[in-house]
A and B are shown apart, each in its own frame.
Chain A
């Protein structure tokens, strides 16, 4: 498909109550997904709200809607956000677009693009045939699918992903043969590390890459950095280690950033005590459901057999397992010639001075099933930072503590743990500073 020739008609919501921060991110989503068609973007809004949107976005040259849609158009609806009713794409424009034979999509508050009342097209369903496990999985834009080591996750609509669901566009074998001055930073973690509410260029890993390269240029160092995002939804440290061994062994990243904590803290409280106590293994409790499906044992209760979930393991016991596994990960990385950065991801409890919009997003997107165990995580993070004893060589980047210095003028969280673009900017800065101080400034590669 020649995207440069596509006409893209963007339609604003019919009511002017959507916060401007959300509209900006949605427009950024349009620009990102249709970057090649930038010359052919048109913006329209219903007459009643036209003056409002024109004053907010004078640079967009917003026209009046409704108008006739054409069959060769791609109509993109910016979703509205209501405090009480939640998100909605305004159906009337979308339905007219469909009737006219146009392709209709909507953009969510995170900038994610999804089809509007149509199936995902083959070009939109990335990597469906990339390997047998993709082929064996349902052809769906979101979900966890079977893979022998961990699981495979797919989340479409936020930009390019590779065949394992990671937001990586580089070819790794090529990177493995890189020059001596070309350094690779591999970042691991769960969905927060994947940056689910950030477009590709807004991810902390992309920003970190820019910052490191800018720093090296500033310092007249002949170093070039590539930062890769191996984050995957739901990952605990055990999954991160598996990913490292599967994808990074030959790559030999120079630095590994383990940006995690929340998934281990929550899932660690929920999983079978015998597995945790005897083996220090933390796993995602929903994988017990996979076991029930596979072995037809739905009559045997899972560890969490009623809602809301209840902690069956004590916080400190969970932390001991988490710390042990993370030390193991560090050991594996070092044995493969890399350096390790211990990151503690932030959660919403550390951003208490928040804007009304952020409070509204939190209220709307909170997971009630996890609430009783999620309530313990703040205390667990506190114990971790008070009790963790690392050797001097390992930088500890406490992104959670850093969050508390920011007030309501930064829209940090879209839910309990996933950051909005402002939050990823903070992460990039923190990791850039830590890497610069711990490795670049110490002349690690001279």
Chain B
């Protein structure tokens, strides 16, 4: 059975192909179009999946969309109605306003509903089945859909290594639901609890993301990064906004938020009254004078330092409250399911700090779908159909996160020939490659590393990575300023051999296939005595978002880590995604060369080809 799962329309379009229960290919559209978070119909991702399987669309048995569009619109209408009623409940003036709207401006549609409806018509969201059918030239009968959180549940459980697990999905909002607890057994998923809008962990976190000056659905992990520089001084204030229920659910106090009809900002005047002025986007952030431009006066510098501490403290407070909420949900789910196996999906599952605590404090056997956000629902939708509609046997879990575009040797040669770079070396073996590149890294070079199939999910895992020496204290600044052009407070993550992980990081690596550390989805403390050894990947709070690498999970990368260890004594590399700020991770050799060209990366490695960035014009 060949099932094609699709997610598109809101953010992070993707396609995934399941053949007889095996994930054959999965790709996120942004990697092909080079438009970050591309939400458009995933034409190129679909073409990629079909090409990987050497089939055509005619061979597909079913195409499954990741959510119920009409139920979603029903929620939008309901939310608009609730909001209008709340406005009209404002005493005499409120009722007069309602009367005015009803009698004088008959049929006046609330602005939010009007703009959403207009957008839906424009982008053909009312008939997703029809749109898919037209785009792919496939019979309507072959197209179906599943509910949003059912996609997340399927993505979380069916790709896990567990036969029995508690499943928790948490995001902004699907149709109505924002979080679901379920139990997975074999091919069955049984829902136990659902939380609906307006109570949403994802939107709660996103509101603070926006307040802290970052882009929603993009900057949430920057909040995590900023939190490490602060203390949870505002914990009490933030915690007041959350009520944890005994049944595992939660409620968010709504006076501070606009989750129902978010036209402009997701927070209200009451939010500003409690938490002050929002941080301006791109505002200077620094916790020490040396991080600021020299031409600032002392007064200006003090102002920046003071405001930075304030916002960092708020980030720390929000992060702590979110972690508590996640722990609460997972504890209940585990109790209901009577197992320590836990599967997570939904955008909130990418909160690596929370995941680290679940592992260390909760002792859970955790699996997090690597593309836990909406892109992962392409797999989830296909998996849900495979099991629950088609009643097929339990599918195979993730064998590897490397599901994307392969690296073609001929394509590499052609791209390098057209690149304009002329200092090119080709290694004759993987061993020679590892030694050569380890030598460059040990010498202080920053390397763009492109190997094999691209990663599925937002983390670079040694297939489309930028690598550097973590023992060099200056390397964090070098890579942030010269290569990625990111804010200086953003941390970098390590890749470490699984064998050595516990020597450097305070956790016991779970080498079960699918452990979050394989996908860099859990943050753990760096051991106190090792912080000075690997300063470039030790964050301000002494933690790191760890990727463990085995010779089975990624042999080429593992060999490189070992070769680096022979030179510098540590089997660890700084591993960040191969992209510049504002662009998706590179995919093809051409993408890699383009990004390499205009960044400060010293060498580009494409398979066994090493390109030096040194040129003379």
- Chain A interface residues toward B at CB < 8 A: 273, 277, 310-311, 313-320, 323, 372, 375-376, 378-380, 382-384, 387-389
Contact = CB atoms under 8 A, between A and B. Distances in A.
A376 B34 CA distance: 13
B234 interface: no
Contacts of A379: 597-599
Of B418, B419, B590, B614, the most chain A CB neighbours within 10 A belong to B418
B472 to A, nearest CB: 21
B191 to A, nearest CB: 43
Contacts of A311: 594
B418 A389 contact: no
B44 to A, nearest CB: 13
Given A316-B419, A316-B420, A383 B616 contact: no
Interface string B28-69: 000000100000000000000000000000000000000000
B597 to A, nearest CB: 4
Given A315-B597, A387-B614, A388-B617, 18 more contacts: A273-B418, A313-B418, A314-B418, A314-B593, A314-B597, A315-B598, A316-B419, A317-B419, A317-B420, A372-B34, A375-B582, A376-B598, A379-B597, A382-B598, A383-B598, A383-B617, A387-B617, A389-B617
Contacts of A277: 418
A202 B617 CA distance: 34
B103 interface: no
5 contacts: A316-B597, A319-B420, A382-B598, A387-B614, A388-B617
B58 to A, nearest CB: 27
Contact of B420 (A318, A376, A382): A318
Of B420, B582, B594, the most chain A CB neighbours within 10 A belong to B420
Interface in B575-617: 582, 590, 593-594, 597-599, 614-617
B174 to A, nearest CB: 31
B126 interface: no
Contacts of B418: 273, 277, 313-314, 317
B617 A384 contact: yes
B377 to A, nearest CB: 28
B598 A387 contact: no
A316 B593 CA distance: 9
B275 interface: no
A141 B615 CA distance: 44
B590 A314 contact: yes
Prevailing SS type, chain B contact patch:
loop
B615 A314 contact: no
B250 interface: no
Interface residues of B, number: 16
B421 interface: yes
B296 to A, nearest CB: 11
Contacts of A389: 616-617
B449 to A, nearest CB: 19
A387 B594 contact: no
Contacts of A320: 420, 615, 617
A7 B597 CA distance: 58
Contacts of A376: 594, 597-598
A375 to B, nearest CB: 8
Of B590, B597, B616, the most chain A CB neighbours within 10 A belong to B597
Nearest to A376: B598
A204 B374 CA distance: 53
A384 B419 CA distance: 15
Given A384-B617, A389-B616, A315 B420 contact: yes
A316 B421 contact: yes
Of B582, B590, B615, B617, the most chain A CB neighbours within 10 A belong to B617
B594 A314 contact: yes
Given A379-B599, A387-B616, A387-B617, A315 B594 contact: yes
- For the complex of A and B, the 10 pairs showing the least CB-CB separation, nearest first, are A379-B598, A316-B420, A317-B420, A323-B617, A315-B597, A387-B617, A388-B617, A314-B419, A387-B615, A316-B597
A387 B613 CA distance: 10
A57 B615 CA distance: 54
B598 A380 contact: yes
A256 B419 CA distance: 31
A376 B593 CA distance: 12
Nearest to B295: A407
Nearest to B282: A352
A45 B209 CA distance: 46
A414 B189 CA distance: 59
Contacts of B419: 314, 316-317
Nearest to B35: A372
A311 B597 CA distance: 13
Contacts of A384: 617
B594 A383 contact: no
Nearest to B593: A314
A406 to B, nearest CB: 12
B36 to A, nearest CB: 11
Contacts of A382: 598
Contacts of B617: 319-320, 323, 383-384, 387-389
Contacts of A380: 597-598
A388 B615 CA distance: 9
A388 B420 CA distance: 14
